[in-house]
Structure 1
Amino acid sequence: MIFDMDGLMIDSERLYFQAERELASRYGKSAPDGLLRRMMGRKALESMELFVRELDLPLSPEEALAQRNPLMRRLMREDLRPMPGLGHIVESFFGRLKMAVATGAPREFLDIAMDGLGIRDRFELLLASDGINKGKPDPEIFLAACAGLGLPPAECIVLEDSENGVLAGKRAGCYVVAVPAEYGRGQDFSPADVVVNSLLEAEEHIVGLLPAP
């Protein structure tokens, strides 16, 4: 089972929105929700390329990222919150299924989240965008996660909260459970195998997919 992180495991999309709005305001710009939603799930640099282009900022994507990351680092350390049901679903499947995290966030943010939540040891594999060439919706990171778990994609379940992540999971050949959160509203989750309202519902659905003990 492969978890996305931002918006799925941790309530971080609101922090990204806050950091990116603050960055835009430094240059007299306003970042609309639609733009910020389109950035969800992508690699950090790819999201900043979109951000800089759409807002016509006098920055390179690399410069924008260098300004955004300290804002995100501070916000994550001050206000890291797990999504409802995270602890329950992780403990429910720990020891029953191989579990991984595959996030478009940089490794630094993944480490802050895993250590802050105290669940690093529950996962066999932690993959961040560092070392990944193409971000979601490209399937690269999910294919790497499947390979790292030693399982074919058809035997892996992906949990995602963004349209880009759902597309990446399906393109990898995985079974995809979409768990849209507040900041994912309005995105197209129709490619997912199932759409649920919470991690608790996701857990119930996945239990039903597994063979009886």
Structure 2
Amino acid sequence: MIRTVIFDMDGVIIDTEPVHHHAFFTQFAELGIPVSDAEYATFLGKSTRNVFQHLKQEYHLAPDVETLMKRKREIFNQSFDEDASLDLLDNVRVLIEDLHEHGVQLVLASSASKATIKRVFDRFGLAPYFTHLVSGEDFEQSKPDPAIFLHAAAVSQTPVGECIVVEDSANGVAAAKAAGIYCVGYASPHSALQNLSQADLVIQHFSELSAEKIKVLG
């Protein structure tokens, strides 16, 4: 029986992907680097640090990674705070509340920074539902490396066989499967370039899930 649900954040709980896209491409323009949409799609699920480590090497960028990350965060934070239309994805709060009420432990495992996670959780009042918040900035390698999900299962004190992961990116799904965890792929309209074929179950909308259905997955 499933005891713990591990949620990704961006594209799963809230659709901040357009804000990240705006921040990254604004910065790419500032840096004068020709990142294509296809190349950008490979970044989804990775930490900002790993993205800029890759870009610094590929495009021989002069600023150090910390400086690049700081600038991206500045652009993201401004856009996030100014966008009054940002909201949780349809029906995801209903699912979170249903899982919480039925005693299923919730853990966040997101490639986002701790600062961004806090920004989202403070704005939408999500902290009471989650026992642990795990940020990708604490790991050497990003998804598809399984470390973040193995750590999430460990801190939840739940065997991987009694966890599921909810993800919307190919990198995230690959990380969950590498960790040996059942994975629900959310086919987000904002991540159409993502291959979710490795997921054990693919959903189009969170109304397809409930605590009752999730407990018997795996």
| TM-score, structure 1 as length reference | 0.91
Letter of the structure 1 residue corresponding to residue 9 of structure 2: M
Map 1:134-153 to 2 at 5 A. Answer: 134-153=141-160
1:11-160 aligned at under 5 Å gives the runs 11-79=15-83, 80-96=86-102, 97-160=104-167
In the aligned structure 2, how far is the partner of 1:27 from the partner of 1:164?
Answer: 26
Root-mean-square deviation (CA, aligned residues, Å) is: 1.7
Is the 1:42–1:135 contact (alpha carbons within 8 Å) kept by the matching residues of 2? yes
5+ unaligned residues in a row in structure 1: which ranges?
A: none
- Structure possessing the higher relative contact order (Cα contacts under 8 Å, 6 or more residues apart): 2
Identity %: 28
Aligned-partner Cα distance in 2 for 1:209–1:91: 13
SS of the equivalent of 2:79 reads helix
Say if 1:56 and 1:198 are closer, same or farther in 2 by CA, change over 3 A: farther
**Partner Cα separation in structure 2 for residue 50 and residue 181 of structure 1:** 25
* Alpha-carbon separation, structure 2, partners of 1:160 and 1:121: 21
Matched positions, count:
209
Unaligned runs of 5+ in 2: none
Structure 2 Cα separation of the partners of residues 89 and 190 of structure 1: 23
The partner residue of 2:212 within 207, 210, 213 is: 207
Q: 1:154–1:174: 8 Å Cα contact kept in structure 2?
A: yes
Tell whether the 8 Å contact from 2:45 to 2:169 is kept in structure 1 after alignment: yes
1:14-51 Cα shifts (integer Å, max 9, x gaps): 11110011001113344321122111111221012233
